Structure 1
């Protein structure tokens, strides 16, 4: 999956989550499922595209 496709999926899932939360509440099973799916997409994005920055020794 290319970066733009993943970003588009993340944006779509985020919009779905907002709509579901407005309609059913943040603690509804549908909102929780959508939130978990969004987390999965964000984690995938982070793994693929966010560089790990080593912490400097203090």
Structure 2
């Protein structure tokens, strides 16, 4: 479970960072820009993904081993 949380946290962190880079530089990165219902809210979604990624990585680190 720790490994799964770590992988999901890393992916969320990368997608959040890609969304913020896309918002500030107009590079075509990440999955958030492809979701039509998030149009106009890409930066908020990027920040939310960054926070989610950090929370998932923290949960993976604080979990019991075994």
Shorter-chain TM-score bucket reads 0.5 to 0.7
Output the CA distance in 1 between the equivalents of 2:58 and 2:10. 14
Tell me how large the CA RMSD over aligned residues is. 2.1
Equivalent residue number for residue 22 of structure 1: 21
Bigger relative CO (Cα 8 Å, ≥ 6 apart):
2
Q: Does 1:36 align with 2:51?
A: yes
Q: Which aligned runs of 4 or more in structure 1 are off by greater than 3 angstroms? A: none
Equivalent residue number for residue 53 of structure 1: none
Number of residues paired by the alignment?
Answer: 47
Q: Any stretches of 5+ residues in structure 2 without a counterpart?
A: 25-42
Equivalent residue number for residue 31 of structure 2: none
Output the CA distance in 1 between the equivalents of 2:57 and 2:4. 13
